Amino acid sequence: MTEHTDSSPTGQEESQESGGQERGVQDKVSHRRAVVAGVLISMGRRLRQPLPGAQPRLRFEMPPEHEDVAESTEEGEAPARFGRPGPRMSSQHPIYVGFMGTVGVGLALLVYWIGSNTTQLLLWIVAALFIALGLDPVVRWLESKKFPRTAGIVLAVSTLMLAVAGFFATLIPTIVEQVTQIVQEAPRWIQDFIDSDFFHTVDNQFGVRDRVTQELEKFVNDPAAMGGIFGGVVGFGSTLANGLFGTLIVLVLSLYFLAALPSMKKWGYRLAPRSRRARVEALAEEITASVGNYVIGQAVVALLNASFAFIVMTIAGVPFAVLLAFVVALLAFIPLVGGLIAGVLVTLIALTAGWQTAVAFAVCYFAYLQFEAYFISPRIMQKAVAVPGAVAVISVIAGGSVLGVLGALIAIPTAAAVLLLVKEIFIKRQDSH
């Protein structure tokens, strides 16, 4: 007991000393953090300050929504910088009629010339705008969850790029593997065919071996044929480079459109007269929202389609299941006929593993297409677009004929927009008479 009472004050002193050392270390750490935070804050303030002699960038801004020059002048305020607009010339004046007619014809010819010489660029712009409208609902949903719009745009575009990168990362190794296998096995296949009884019979009757040898000698000794091979390789490389360049342009334009979509809408609404601006804005918002919802809904349908196809291919033993699942997802984006084309394509590839595998996949997949058409798509697309079946089929065929795959993709939302405008403008105008 005596030793315990004697050692107790010493233990308390040691604990107090250790506690004081810990507090001292914590104070030093907090002091260092405060110093680092102060340095970062001061650096941020300096970065936000303009450089000496630098001037802010000029921005072209729209005039205020309700500007009245006459009232501001009467109240003693400074008038507008460029003065008050004068009265319009009468639309019945001969000079006005002749000038505007000439300008209209000139503008029509100019638009036709620009469209005929920039077809590829216009297709890129349409594709980028379609992608931007499709990603806009995702960005707005992220904004509703307190995400900055910039962060939402980066997240949405990054997800899209990862999906595209995953497709090519799966596609390229598969193609390389298959081409390598074909190159390695090709000599054996040719030799087996030459040694077969069928080839010997045909060769004895028609002299196939000598004929093939003569044609090969002509081909090798023909400079035009060898130049054609070189030209084909160069053409393939040029096509590949143009495709990569177009993909980059579409991606950059999609980023710009997605970032500037609110301001683009605002500018577009200001082009309408003030008396009709609210109605124009309501129709435009309905159209853009329907396009965005359609793209999101079609993406969900394509994802479900590809997931089911991948499960069935894995169970049935179809080769290249991952790659074919990506192909099914891309084809499922094409409305009405995309799933059918994907089913036929995968069934033909499944024949390489046996007719039993092909039949099993075809039965399961085409049964799923019927389930998707009557149960999945109506529930997902009910908030996107409402287009009659005949109009949908005609619009998809027409869009595919004019613009290919891109035309088939945008056909249904375009038809929905046209039907909405006809119902809200033409039919209402006809009903009022």
What is the CA 350 to chain-centroid distance, rounded?
Answer: 30
d(CA 367, CA 348): 17
d(CA 357, CA 316): 6
CA distances 356 to 310, 315, 350, 353, 369, Å, are: 17, 12, 9, 8, 20
The SS3 assignment for 400 reads helix
Show the tokens assigned to 281: 């804005």
Nearest CA to 292 out of 383, 366, 215, 371 is that of: 383
CA distances 233 to 11, 183, 184, 240, Å, are: 86, 18, 21, 11
List Cβ neighbours of 56 (8 Å cut-off, separation of 6 or more): 50
**Burial zone of 359 (CB within 10 Å; 0-12 exposed, 13-18 middle, 19+ buried):** middle
Residuewise pLDDT in 10s, the chain (433 residues):
444 444 455 555 555 555 566 666 667 767 777 777 777 777 767 666 665 655 555 555 655 655 444 444 445 555 566 667 677 767 777 777 788 888 889 999 998 888 888 888 888 888 888 888 888 888 888 888 888 888 888 888 888 888 878 777 777 787 777 778 767 877 887 777 777 887 778 777 777 777 777 777 776 666 666 566 666 666 767 777 887 888 888 888 888 888 888 888 888 888 888 888 888 888 888 888 888 888 888 888 888 998 999 899 889 888 888 888 888 888 888 877 888 899 999 998 888 888 888 899 999 999 999 888 888 877 776 666 667 767 777 887 888 787 777 787 778 888 888 888 888 788 888 877 7
Answer yes or no: are the C-beta atoms of 261 and 132 closer than 8 Å: yes
